[in-house]
Amino acid sequence: MIDTEFDSKHIWHPYTSMQNPLPVYPVSRAEGVYIELENGTRLIDGMASWWSMIHGYKHPILNKAIHEQLEAMAHVMFGGLTHEPGIELARLLVELTPPALEKVFISDSGSVAVEVAIKMARQYWINQGQGEKSKLLSLRGAYHGDTFAAMSVCDPVTGMHHLFKDSMPLNYFAEKPTCRFGKPCSEQDLLSITSQLQTHHTEIAAVILEPIVQGAGGMWFYSAEYLTAVRDLCDKYDVLLIADEIATGFGRTGKLFACEHAAISPDILCLGKALTGGYMSLAATLCNNKVSNGISKNGGVFMHGPTFMANPLACATALASINLLLESPWQESVKNIEQQLSEELLTCLSSPSVNDVRTLGAIGVIEMQEPIDLKIAQEFFVSEGVWIRPFGRLLYIMPPYIISQEELGSLTNAMLKFTKLQ
């Protein structure tokens, strides 16, 4: 028996209180798109374990990759040493990511990938003799992680980190674009970020944004034209562009990387989550030669080195996961998911409890008029045989790409049913 009593007394789960903890559901196994609870209840996973398990659980190819790598080497430090899984993963990432991203720093989590990106941008300008370019420019509605530098570029209100505002570096924020994905971007949408760059470009090291999809800060999908314009603005005002594709990378929006919707290449790119198909914690920060040469000139070295950087088990799993994705009809799968989400979720727009419905790729969002009670929602969805975890006013799913039409229908039906109870 899983000791949930010990869990509630001693284990601190994310975003919870220890005095009044939310209930947790004991899991005994997981396979395909199903999470099986200890009592035998099977739940269709609409979250892909925080958007990472794109191939589902217990995939034989990923299991095999781990077992084979384990026989050779579980871990070795990456300082002064290297190994084939790390080299081949970096080679594949350079090949697949937007052009000019030729250098790869492999770390161990998405937040660290963002920390690395921010360090790269800061160190680049320091080494150019322009240390005053130390600020970041981010977007309202952004979410980039839970570590301190990452928190400092999250939305001060929706980014969940208002408690730490007096302890974090102070950065600049532009209003988020209101232009929806698939629609034109107006000059009005660009006024805020243009104004910030005009006024503060001598202090700004980089613009950091989530391409096309703002994730945990609000699940907002914006026009590709805005992203194209921001790339041009960064070039005009001589600031770097950091693209945080931790949530969007590896097919989630219908493109392998969300930057492809705008046909742009950032100076620095952050990857994580689906990098290993959700099996292990691994992340990567890529940059172009401009950034790497700027940091490295005059004997400069990049000052970061995680203990578990480029863990061989994780790198081997990432290689297997990416190749599995590329060899599958993933574009067709994501397109079918998007079509079904659009057809089924849009039916609730007439409900007075619903403010908006948004779909893109394998992402479906119902924005409610009022905040959702997480405890009540969680109990409801488990009773419906699905695993959906809302936050704020957002009821959303980002399922594994292998989900069937029937399984996806179970998720959308549960979402629609929940909106009628509000």
Q: Are residues 222 and 310 in the same domain?
A: yes
Q: How far apart are CA 237 and CA 184, in angstroms?
A: 23
Mean per-residue pLDDT, 203-218: 97
Q: Choosing from 244, 255, 396, 401, which is the catalytic residue?
A: 244
pLDDT for 50 equals 97
Summarize pLDDT for 95-153 with one digit per residue, the tens: 999 999 999 999 999 999 999 999 999 999 999 999 999 999 999 999 999 999 999 99
Which range has the worst mean pLDDT, 157-171, 195-209, 265-279? 157-171
Tell me if residue 143 is catalytic: yes
In a domain? residue 210: yes
Summarize pLDDT for 247-266 with one digit per residue, the tens: 999 999 999 999 999 999 99
Q: Are residues 108 and 242 in the same domain?
A: yes
CATH assignment of the domain containing 346: 3.90.1150.10
Q: Are residues 334 and 307 in the same domain?
A: no
Maximum distance among all alpha carbons in the chain? 64
**What backbone phi and psi angles, to 5 degrees, belong to 399?**
-75, 170
pLDDT for 375 equals 94
Share of the chain above pLDDT 70, in %: 99
In a domain? residue 68: no
Summarize pLDDT for 395-411 with one digit per residue, the tens: 999 999 999 999 999 99
Q: Choosing from 143, 222, 279, 396, which is the catalytic residue?
A: 143
DSSP state of 112: H
pLDDT for 420 equals 93
Two tokens, residue 153: 């570029």
Q: Examine the pLDDT at 334 and tell me if it is beyond 80.
A: yes
pLDDT for 160 equals 65
pLDDT for 164 equals 82
Boundary (domain end) residue, out of 275, 302, 326: 326
Number of structural domains the chain divides into: 2
Helix (H, G, I), strand (E, B) or coil at 44: strand
pLDDT for 296 equals 96
**Mean pLDDT score of the chain:** 96
pLDDT for 206 equals 98
Give the containing element (helix H, strand E) for 268.
strand 268-271
Q: Are residues 180 and 42 in the same domain?
A: no
pLDDT for 41 equals 98
Summarize pLDDT for 373-385 with one digit per residue, the tens: 999 999 999 999 9
Mean per-residue pLDDT, 287-309: 95
Q: Are residues 27 and 172 in the same domain?
A: no
Q: Are residues 236 and 380 in the same domain?
A: no
Q: Examine the pLDDT at 165 and tell me if it is beyond 90.
A: no
Confidence of residue 235 (pLDDT cuts 50, 70, 90): very high
Domain coverage including residue 31: 4-58+329-421
Confidence of residue 422 (pLDDT cuts 50, 70, 90): confident
Tell me if residue 244 is catalytic: yes
Q: Choosing from 267, 273, 279, 401, which is the catalytic residue?
A: 273
In a domain? residue 21: yes
Q: Are residues 81 and 103 in the same domain?
A: yes
What's at 48, amino acid-wise? A
Q: Are residues 166 and 310 in the same domain?
A: yes
Summarize pLDDT for 344-384 with one digit per residue, the tens: 999 999 999 999 999 999 999 999 999 999 999 999 999 99
Q: Are residues 226 and 360 in the same domain?
A: no
pLDDT for 221 equals 98
Confidence of residue 159 (pLDDT cuts 50, 70, 90): low
Two tokens, residue 52: 């990472």
**Residue 282 · residue 315 · CB < 8 Å:** yes
Q: Are residues 255 and 236 in the same domain?
A: yes
Mean per-residue pLDDT, 22-49: 97
Tell me if residue 15 is catalytic: yes
In a domain? residue 9: yes
pLDDT for 169 equals 86
How far from 27 is each of 4, 24, 43, 257, CA to CA, in Å?
11, 9, 10, 32
Q: Choosing from 3, 9, 15, 236, which is the catalytic residue?
A: 15
Q: How far apart are CA 104 and CA 46, in angstroms?
A: 31
Q: Are residues 201 and 304 in the same domain?
A: yes
In a domain? residue 64: no
Pairing of strands 220-221, 213-214: antiparallel
Q: Examine the pLDDT at 213 and tell me if it is beyond 70.
A: yes
Q: Are residues 28 and 44 in the same domain?
A: yes
